[in-house]
Structure 1
Amino acid sequence: MVASAADRFGDAEAVVDGPLRLTFTELVHRIRCAAGAFADLGIDKGDRVAIWAPNSAEWIIAAFGLLTAGGVLVPVNTRFKTDEAADIIGRSKARAVLVQKGFLGQDYTAPAGVPVIDLKSDFLSSGKPFAREVSGTDIADVIFTSGTTGRPKGAMMNHRQTLRMYEEWATLADLREGDRYLMINPYFHTFGLKAGLVASFLRGATMVPMAVFDIDRAVELIERERITMLPGPPTLYHSLLAVRDKSKLATLRAAVTGAADIPVELIRRIRDELPFQSLMTGYGLTEAGNVTLSRPGDTPEQVATTAGLPCDGVEVRIADDGEVLVRGYGVMQGYLDDPVATAEAIDADGWLHTGDLGNFDDTGRLRIIGRKKDMFIVGGFNAYPAEIEGFLMQHPAVAQAAVIGVPDERLGQVGKAFVVLKDGAPAVSADDLIAWSRERMAGFKVPRYVEFLDALPLNATGKVMKDQLQKRG
């Protein structure tokens, strides 16, 4: 894919990163030189190398240079503290670690004998053009799960899976040759690496990396670089809707978002107030990539309340307990060095047990209603936090909500809501919110406790870290 991009797209602009502008021909040459640098470092076929750095042109060159040299990419979450990064780098047996010195005040020192290389140094340009033969069944990357409920595990994917999966993603997302793609999603995450970089190489889109999201800077880049493609979480679109001068956003054409619960009103406002011509959503996970995606022409209700239809070659079914099961070519090759966890995740018939709860609507579109581990039982009734959070978000004063189950002597468990109020919202008490909830949901769903927070604890991909909330009780 990478080598052919030079032939397919040649002098078209491939990367814009600050003052740096590279054509596809120039980018591929730099990637081949980086492959030579990795070979000179002693990286052999199948060796793993970690990248712990923000989105940048150098990240792209390093990652695809490593793959061109036959190596295996291990991206590390930039929000991790040193000890958390060290755990993943150690467990992946990385032969080297590439970092951006001083990013977010983090400086990493690797285990003895493992070189730490500054991405901004001359390392990537130090090799002669080089490439090793790889097979479609070779492992391409090990991406560690976000670890919202426990220790992250490394999901292994091969080259062929990724190419097939993101060819379909690019088609349904309406990514076109010549598109200009502002990359807010971090490259250490599947959404950034594969729906971002891989899809852009497949289609010939210009990659515009953002190291840290800032709405003013994003608007400036959208206007100056004539950005057409802008995927991101729902919060991104809330920020864009608040931009006063919408003329600066005029070039935007294609949007992609995803979350278990997106207000229908948000989708309507995106379509009515922003220039996007297409808006895709979907459901996926580190262990299986894309599972379902929405289709062109889906209604705002379908985009907001469902995750779309199963992807080509992917089977989805709902187990008796409501868990979403997935089977097909996109399911990971297993967790790195963890056969027990792999066997727990993928059953003997090849079904991946996702840990998510869901159902199908009458059109066959998947709805995700929560996490199996998050579900709690109130007096014999199953309570799903994502559903309760969706109700709470309808309160005019509530900006964000997260619900967990806490022990209760009489009912076994009851709900506790952690709530972030909107700036400038009128004062609301816990009792007010509980009373409001009683009018709108079944008694067993109503949170018995409410705790107000300035912010919910989020991981770098924007997911609420419920394990941290559980510690608060």
Structure 2
Amino acid sequence: MNALSAAAPLQGFWQLVHGPLAHWARHRPDMVALQSEAGSWTFGELHAEVEQRSARLVAQRAPQMLLLDAGRSTLERLVDFLAVIHSGRCAAVADPDWQPAVRQRIESWLPEQPCELESAAPTAAFYTGFTSGSTGLPKGFKRHHLSWTESFRVGLQDFGPVVAQRTLAPGRISHSLFLFGAMQGIWYGCGAVMQEKFSASRCLATLALGDTPCLVAVPSQLLLMLQWAEHRQLAPIPEVELITISGARWMRAHTPALRALFPKARIIEFYGASEASFVAWMDADEASGPQAVGRPFSNVKLSIRPTGSDAAENALAEHGTSHASDGLIYIRSPMLFMDYVGDAHDATAVLRDGDWLSVRDMGHIDERGMLCLAGRQSRMIVTQGKNLFPEEVENLLASHPAIAQVSLHGQADALRGLQVHAVLQWRPQTQVPSALELNQWLRERTEAFKVPRQWWICEHWPQTASGKTDHGQLAQALRARMTALTDAGISPAQLPALRPWQS
């Protein structure tokens, strides 16, 4: 691929996220590099505009980190992003839905002093993204160029040349998955198609045209596409060659329907984190257990460490060695983030041990060398003296035809330590089971101690900015319902409404 060897260390401009843009502007000036409903830029046009905007930042001695204007179109924000990183500075990507108070707090974290930088370096910070934090404020994470260019390289090495094609990344660039998809399209020289606002129908229409063979998506987007295709009785779309799924756990019961809609597509699930980038991947297989997330990427090492003792004294299970019991997953790779920005005292912050990092996910490596994810350490429920990972039961319940969403929580109980509660949202126009029927259905699939003792219904499901279930909001609502108290100054009116379910 034009002097790039996916198996060799990156050299020259390939080490920079924007580095190949000038190369592609010379060799493919008229190919569309970025496109959305708002317009398009060819590689030649994009390179010229990025250089012009970058030169202005250098002349103005702009600060080292700049917050992108959330009010501009996705396309314009991407051009601004490229200009900022071309100048050697770090682009912080705001969420358009932030409240003014949140935005002001984030702005207070940014440097104000003039910066003399004129160009980028591979190990210099280029991007600050934001993810949910335990303090209620977004948690800023900072990355250097090599952490992403190494991800681009290993994606090509592990997935093969199919990944280096024009890609549809139909989400907000405040979600790092879609920003990554856009930059990947620039770096590979194949271009990316974005959406100013997600539309399942426009996604399917774009893919059916045949000139965008790759799709990067989160599970909720794929489910909406499947629903739209079924509702409109759309024909299969054989033009799609690769679908990569991340951002949340993919319910594999939907894989056959996805294959039917995209019959020639290779479907890949990958597990990662904002702080770790790529960790593990697998070709979608509905026969795989729900905990399996795949084998490590070629440049990733894993160790499973017991909790509750000094990391240096723990016996480690390196990847490739079976380790049946769940422990903290530690990762070593060249794709790890640099550090947090702003509030460093977040209880959900990563754990570090030298070159190793843990995002506090727990799991094990099975006899096939597959990483199996149990769940997040902070969500683990100890009930009847046994460890229960809510994600396991949530995945089982989510496969029930009547259940659209589910969230498990532990509430104090004198007998059991914590009693298991489940919050559900029903699928529209489906037959709702009785509580007895649902209990029996779940008992046939898991151990009795994992079956919830109390059930709740939530009609208006809370989600984080990245489209995941907001378990924190539901936990607060459940505590308020159980104790008639709220914490953190949140009034009951601001919390999701829950009602007990006994039918």
- TM-score, scaled relative to structure 1: 0.83
Aligned to 2:138: 152
Over 3 Å counting, the alpha-carbon distance change for 1:426 and 1:222 in structure 2 is same
Q: 1:352, 1:188 → 2: CA distance?
A: 24
Report the 3-state secondary structure (helix = DSSP H, G, I; strand = E; otherwise coil) of the residue aligned with 1:290.
Answer: strand
Note the C-alpha offset of 1:291. 1.3
Does 2:209 align with 1:204?
Answer: no
Q: 1:11, 1:352 → 2: CA distance?
A: 43
Aligned to 1:10: 29
Note the C-alpha offset of 1:85. 2.5
5 Å matches for 1:196-235? 196-224=181-209, 226-235=211-220
Unaligned runs of 5+ in 2: 1-18, 308-326, 479-503
Note the C-alpha offset of 1:446. 0.8
Does 2:160 align with 1:142?
Answer: no
Per-residue CA shift, 1:52-109, capped at 9, x if unaligned? Answer: 257622111000001111111111223322222322222234789xxxxxxxxxxxxx
Does 2:179 align with 1:193?
Answer: yes
Over 3 Å counting, the alpha-carbon distance change for 1:92 and 1:412 in structure 2 is farther
**Which AA in structure 2 matches 1:403?**
L
Aligned to 1:442: 447
**Greater mean deviation of Cα atoms: 208-217 or 223-232:** 223-232
Aligned to 1:119: none
Report the 3-state secondary structure (helix = DSSP H, G, I; strand = E; otherwise coil) of the residue aligned with 1:136.
Answer: coil
Does 2:77 align with 1:48?
Answer: no
Per-residue CA shift, 1:423-450, capped at 9, x if unaligned? Answer: 1011334454334333432221111121
Preserved contact between residue 164 and residue 185 of structure 2 (Cα < 8 Å): no
Note the C-alpha offset of 1:150. 5.0
Note the C-alpha offset of 1:33. 1.4
Does 2:391 align with 1:391?
Answer: no
**Greater mean deviation of Cα atoms: 151-160 or 34-43:** 34-43
Note the C-alpha offset of 1:337. 5.2
Report the 3-state secondary structure (helix = DSSP H, G, I; strand = E; otherwise coil) of the residue aligned with 1:231.
Answer: strand
Match of 2:273 among 258, 261, 285: 285
Over 3 Å counting, the alpha-carbon distance change for 1:53 and 1:405 in structure 2 is farther
Note the C-alpha offset of 1:178. 7.7
Per-residue CA shift, 1:123-164, capped at 9, x if unaligned? Answer: xxxxxxxx9322111111122223367543222211122111
**Greater mean deviation of Cα atoms: 270-279 or 137-146:** 270-279
Preserved contact between residue 77 and residue 188 of structure 1 (Cα < 8 Å): yes
Over 3 Å counting, the alpha-carbon distance change for 1:142 and 1:455 in structure 2 is same
- TM-score, scaled relative to structure 2: 0.79
Preserved contact between residue 252 and residue 285 of structure 2 (Cα < 8 Å): no
State the superposition RMSD in angstroms.
2.8
Report the 3-state secondary structure (helix = DSSP H, G, I; strand = E; otherwise coil) of the residue aligned with 2:379.
Answer: coil
**Which AA in structure 1 matches 2:364?**
N
Per-residue CA shift, 1:381-425, capped at 9, x if unaligned? Answer: 101111011121232211221112122121111221111111101
Match of 1:73 among 91, 95, 99: 91
Over 3 Å counting, the alpha-carbon distance change for 1:171 and 1:461 in structure 2 is farther
**Which AA in structure 2 matches 1:233?**
V
Q: 2:432, 2:25 → 1: CA distance?
A: 58
Q: 1:339, 1:427 → 2: CA distance?
A: 45
Note the C-alpha offset of 1:259. 5.7
5 Å matches for 1:317-396? 317-321=303-307, 322-336=327-341, 345-396=350-401
Report the 3-state secondary structure (helix = DSSP H, G, I; strand = E; otherwise coil) of the residue aligned with 1:62.
Answer: helix
Aligned to 2:240: 252
Preserved contact between residue 50 and residue 89 of structure 1 (Cα < 8 Å): no
**Which AA in structure 2 matches 1:70?**
G
Q: 1:420, 1:342 → 2: CA distance?
A: 29
Over 3 Å counting, the alpha-carbon distance change for 1:303 and 1:294 in structure 2 is farther
**Greater mean deviation of Cα atoms: 204-213 or 299-308:** 299-308
Q: 1:12, 1:439 → 2: CA distance?
A: 55
Preserved contact between residue 173 and residue 254 of structure 1 (Cα < 8 Å): no
**Greater mean deviation of Cα atoms: 358-367 or 379-388:** 358-367
Over 3 Å counting, the alpha-carbon distance change for 1:248 and 1:57 in structure 2 is farther
Q: 2:47, 2:226 → 1: CA distance?
A: 37
Q: 1:316, 1:399 → 2: CA distance?
A: 33
Aligned to 1:294: 282
Note the C-alpha offset of 1:229. 1.4
**Which AA in structure 2 matches 1:218?**
C
Over 3 Å counting, the alpha-carbon distance change for 1:304 and 1:269 in structure 2 is farther
Unaligned runs of 5+ in 1: 97-130
Preserved contact between residue 38 and residue 73 of structure 2 (Cα < 8 Å): no
Does 2:152 align with 1:166?
Answer: yes
Count of residue correspondences: 435
Aligned to 2:484: none
Q: 1:303, 1:93 → 2: CA distance?
A: 47
Report the 3-state secondary structure (helix = DSSP H, G, I; strand = E; otherwise coil) of the residue aligned with 1:163.
Answer: helix
Preserved contact between residue 178 and residue 216 of structure 2 (Cα < 8 Å): no
Per-residue CA shift, 1:188-226, capped at 9, x if unaligned? Answer: 2221112x1221112122221112212223223333574
Preserved contact between residue 150 and residue 334 of structure 2 (Cα < 8 Å): no
Match of 1:316 among 302, 322, 331: 302
Over 3 Å counting, the alpha-carbon distance change for 1:53 and 1:247 in structure 2 is farther
Report the 3-state secondary structure (helix = DSSP H, G, I; strand = E; otherwise coil) of the residue aligned with 1:396.
Answer: coil
Note the C-alpha offset of 1:251. 2.2
Match of 1:452 among 448, 451, 457: 457
Note the C-alpha offset of 1:26. 0.8
Match of 1:59 among 77, 87, 92: 77
**Which AA in structure 1 matches 2:95?**
N
Match of 1:82 among 100, 104, 116: 100
Q: What percent of counterpart residues are identical?
A: 22
Over 3 Å counting, the alpha-carbon distance change for 1:388 and 1:54 in structure 2 is farther
Note the C-alpha offset of 1:357. 1.2
Report the 3-state secondary structure (helix = DSSP H, G, I; strand = E; otherwise coil) of the residue aligned with 1:425.
Answer: coil
Q: 1:314, 1:10 → 2: CA distance?
A: 35
Q: 2:254, 2:210 → 1: CA distance?
A: 26
